[in-house]
A = this chain, B = another copy of it.
Amino acid sequence: MRNTLDYLFNPSSLAVIGASDKVGSLGRGLAENILSTYTGKIYFVNRRGGKILGLEAFRSVKEISDIIDLALIITPSHTVPEILDELREKETKVAVIYSGGFREAGREDLEREVIEKAKINRIRILGPNCVGFIDNWTPINATFVSRERQGIPRKGYVSLISQSGALGSLFLDLMSYRDIGLRRFISVGNASDIKISELIRYLVNDPDTRALGLYIESIAEGRELIESLRKFSSVKPIVILRGGRSSRGSKAALSHVAALSASPKLVDGVLRISGITQVYTIREFLASMEALEKLERLLSLEKIFAITNTGGMGVLVSDALDISGIELTDFLDNQLRELRSIVPPYMSIGNPIDLSGDAPTERFREVFKILIKYKPDLLIIINQPQTSAMDTENFVLFAEELRNYLKDLRILLLVSGGEYARNFASRLRKIGLPVAEDPHELVAMIRSLRKDIIRGVRVVDLVESRREMVNPIVLNTLLSGRNLLLEYESKEILSRQGLDIPKGFVARSLNELKDLFYEKKLVFPVVAKIVSPDITHKSSIGGVVLGIRNFEELKKAFINLYELARNRGIRFLGVLVEEMIRGSPEFFVGGYRHEVFGSVVSFGSGGVFVELLEDVAFRSYDADIAEIYSMISETMIFRLLSRIEKKEATLSSIIKTIGIVSRLLEDNPEIKEIDINPATLYQEKVYVLDARIILGNPLKSSSVY
């Protein structure tokens, strides 16, 4: 059976409803694009009839006797519901609604009506408020973008999905300018029916989509999006450019496409999935797509050589690589000798090799011949063609030779400059070589070419389910009418799920304190903390006594904490006494159920530093070990951790702790939030020093109560 989206990208017949003959109108632009690309059956519909671009137009879809697989609707928004009704008889499978004037203009009602009509009539909808789509292989250009004013990319292997129509068409223009081949382009607009995640899942199985570029501004379908991205990225590369990363940016995005946004750091984190490259500028976005359309990714990008005819550009490239953590490879002594033998003495042989400004193509070729013997993964060739020594025609021939190496060796060129350089770059691109226009584009290309390690074990799968042990505590809390677990309850849950907590007990009276103290045999020094459901920040009100060195001091602490409760008029449920763990450093592990992205986990500096230094990183709860490792390494506290002895053991303890938090969220839908702050390291083990678990509103979780 055909997928509905097959009818979108490759219909047998289509109607352009709102097609127009009026020069400059969108209906005319769309009709022109369709006529000049699509070879199937085309019907133009315009309520005034007449001729459009030489074709007789129908006054209504009802006049068409044929089946219409795909309807392209570019009429005023209020006319759309009726058109959808009329299309029912034409067995229309998909409609693209270009028209604006829906949710983005405050008309949620009209958008809902359209979607209901579409459902009733079994028509899937792309849009509304979109620029349309392109399939260069069908071929079909179902956008209204003006081909006089902007380029449409040639047929190729990158697909592009854009949440912004206008930026989408800008990307097409720039792809064409850079000779990046396009498979499919989809502008999703308000995405009220066909969503980005559905399109991504569809493209996973499209052999001609070898890489995907995605521009998103606001994410309303978080969990589905993450899952579709995971699926796609496990087989093919994705580059994401995200708008609305700042607060004003997200406000601008909100007014643009009204959908939910979230903290930029959180979104950054959950989208950091192996196989996905996140970029931050339009140029990086285009450069990455250019590299991915022309080259296959490599698992190893370790041996990287660079040659340049411009020393200064070599310096700027070295800087840009270095800042991105990409290292050029040092030459071995015998390699240096060999290189030395063929280049002028004033040429400096580092990496980059500076061939100097008087280098003709022949010098590039000679050095290249030597370098390929050293089997690099990646070769960077910087050629500023402006120097009078550069015989550009010969270099073009050399570039054609280079193309033959692309299967085994990734080659990236860098050419900067005005008209002459741009024309030169354009010729190199036509030959099939990716050309960066500046050092930062080059870095983006390399980043996107680096194939991440294969999907590893999900951290949540490192930990076995113990719901049956955890659930009673959750249940008890809910039955007592509380959402917030007390510290010792939270710790008990974490302990049952496999985490280490300090040895201790809760005493409700002085007698109990004495009994439990002798029974549990705690080692001094200990710490005493008030137990009360009315306090969330114990230490700020003096509810924590540290460094207790004998039983007398402990008794005194108990009494003081009791007095504290009385003076403040808060409930006193006892005192939590625990051995003091003198670990270092302190850090934070958290997890919560985000309304858009589902469960996410976080890691950062402990105590107040997580907030003060904003030292926190996020991932989706189903991240794999490599992704969690990268989350940890994004933080500042990681620098302290990486100085610790037995670093590997330590880090795997922390990763397991994050797995435990993931597991608790996965298994226990009642748990809304887990804060372990601080945790610390003691003898390579993670100890929970303080913890807080919050449950979802029990009134809402009807399945349990």
A residues bordering B, Cβ < 8 Å?
A: 24-26, 29, 100-101, 104-106, 144-146, 148-151, 162-170, 173-174, 176-177, 215, 217, 243-253, 255-257, 281-283, 309-316, 318-319, 321-323, 327-328, 345-346, 348, 350-352, 354, 356-357, 384-389, 416-421, 438-440, 612-613, 636, 639-640, 643
Q: Contacts A151-B419, A416-B282 hold; do A170 and B384 have CB atoms under 8 A apart?
A: yes
If A164-B312, A246-B323, A314-B256 touch, whether A101 touches B346 (CB-CB below 8 Å) is yes
Find out whether the CB atom of B104 lies under 8 angstroms from the CB atom of A177: no
Q: Count this chain's copies in the assembly.
A: 2
Task: List the B side residues contacting A168 at CB < 8 Å.
Answer: 312
A149 and B420 within 8 A (CB): yes
24 A–B contacts, CB within 8 A, in A order = A26-B388, A100-B346, A106-B345, A150-B421, A167-B313, A170-B312, A170-B313, A170-B417, A174-B416, A174-B417, A176-B418, A244-B315, A244-B319, A245-B319, A245-B323, A249-B318, A252-B315, A252-B354, A255-B350, A256-B315, A256-B354, A281-B440, A613-B636, A613-B639
- Residues on B with C-beta less than 8 A from A104 are 346, 348
Cβ contact within 8 Å between A319 and B243: yes
Contact present for A643 and B438 (CB under 8 Å): no
Cα–Cα distance between A60 and B321 once the two chains are bound (Å) = 48
Do residues A243 and B315 form an inter-chain contact, with CB atoms below 8 A? Answer: yes
Among residues of B, the one whose C-beta sits closest to the C-beta of A636 is B613
The distance in angstroms between the C-alpha atoms of A440 and B312, with both chains bound, is 22
Question: Are B389 and A253 within 8 A (Cβ)?
Answer: no
Please pick, from B149, B248, B321, B420, the residue contacting A318 in the complex, using a CB distance under 8 A: B248
Contact residues in B for A169 (Cβ distance below 8 Å): 386
In the complex with contacts A150-B417, A256-B354, A387-B166 CB distance below 8 A: yes
Given the interface pairs A105-B346, A281-B439, A438-B282, the reply to whether A418 lies near B150 with Cβ below 8 Å is: yes
Indicate the member of A167, A313, A315, A643 with the most B CB atoms within 10 Å.
A315
Task: Please tell me if the beta carbons of A24 and B389 are within 8 angstroms of each other in the complex.
Answer: yes
Instruction: Return A319 CB to nearest CB of chain B, in Å.
Output: 4
Q: How many whole Å from A381's CB to the nearest CB in chain B?
A: 15
- Contact: B612 with A217, CB < 8 Å? no
Residue on B with the closest CB to A150? B386
Bound CA span A312–B171, Å: 11
A417 B248 Cβ-Cβ under 8 A: no
- Report the bound CA distance from A345 to B246 in whole Å: 26
CB-nearest residue of chain B relative to A385? Answer: B149
Contacts of A245 in B (CB 8 A): 319, 322-323
Q: Is the CB of B248 within 8 A of A321?
A: yes
Nearest residue (CB) in B for A356 is B100
Enumerate chain B residues within 8 angstroms of A283, measured Cβ to Cβ.
438
Q: Which residues of B contact A255 (CB under 8 A)?
A: 311, 348, 350, 354
Q: Which residue on chain B has the smallest CB distance to residue A640?
A: B612
With A166-B384, A639-B612, A643-B612 given, is the CB distance from A248 to B438 under 8 Å?
no
